[in-house]
Amino acid sequence: MSDTRVALITGASRGIGRSIAEHLARAGRHVVLLARNETKLAEVAESITQSGGSASIYVCDIGDSDALGEAVMSTAKDCGRLDILVNNAGILRDNLLLRMTDEEFDDVMRLNLRSVFVTCRAAARPMMSKRFGRIVNIGSISGVIGRPGQANYSAAKAGLIGLTKSVAKEFGAKGVTANVVAPGWIETDMTADVPEAVRTEAKALTPARRLGQPEEVASAVNFLASDEAGYITGQVLCVDGGMGM
């Protein structure tokens, strides 16, 4: 495995994270799939292996900072390297600001922002030691333009942009890049329960006039995680059909 680049992807059991793992595996990376649901992770790993790729799984709740930091460090130790980190796992706890509870705010900050700080901190040393690293953090167009009902989510995703730019500046000289991919509306479990009227409104606000697919986000991540993208850092790439323009 020593010549093969190793990628750790959080939230890889379904949706955008699964697609990112499949793209990176097709590009020849060994992918380490992290989420809570062991059965689903094993299914994704099996499917990647069946297609000729290389995958392993790591069961972890990203809300547990100690366990998450350990997941990153043991991946680097067990695989002998950690080249690519994709912070994709995330949650929604939407509510109008006047009704939003402290718990709804804190849960989203913990899972969507603090977890990213934890993994970046843990990944920095193994990446710097090899003078190579690609960190891709999955933000959201909500973190760029805001969205009603998402004060918590928009704040966390906007914070993710600041965090990523700081990481890019701290580790740029060591060969480590850090970028954000900010999706618009993508068809996954996260958006499956959104009422039809809201989906119609989202399409109307999107120049492409449709929702996006996980593969469209994954291909952008795959590029930013590639060796060829070494001179791109601290950037926010919106994969949103033009919604955020």
> In the complex, which residues of this chain contact ligand NAP (CB under 6 A)?
11, 13-17, 35-37, 40, 61-63, 88-91, 111, 138, 140, 183, 185-186, 188-191
Closest CA to 13 of 71, 89, 69: 89
Which DSSP symbol is given to 97? T
153 catalytic? Reply is yes
Q: Which CB sits closer to ligand NAP, 63 or 175?
A: 63
The first and second tokens of residue 200, run together, are 């119609």
| Minimum distance from residue 230 beta carbon to ligand NAP (Å) | 24
| Minimum distance from residue 70 beta carbon to ligand NAP (Å) | 14
| Minimum distance from residue 197 beta carbon to ligand NAP (Å) | 17
What dihedral angle (degrees, nearest 10) is formed by the CA atoms of 137, 141, 147, 152? Answer: 0
Q: Any residues with CB less than 8 A from the CB of 55 and at least 6 apart, and which?
A: 21, 25, 30, 31, 32, 33, 44, 45, 48, 49
Q: Which CB sits closer to ligand NAP, 17 or 133?
A: 17
Q: What CA–CA distance (Å, rounded) separates 71 from 116? A: 13
Q: Which CB sits closer to ligand NAP, 43 or 170?
A: 43
Q: What CA–CA distance (Å, rounded) separates 21 from 13? A: 9
Query: Which one from 58, 105, 132, 153 is the annotated catalytic residue?
Result: 153
| Minimum distance from residue 127 beta carbon to ligand NAP (Å) | 21
The strand pair at 30-35 and 54-59 is best described as parallel
Q: Which CB sits closer to ligand NAP, 62 or 178?
A: 62
3-state secondary structure of 32: strand
Residues with catalytic roles: 153
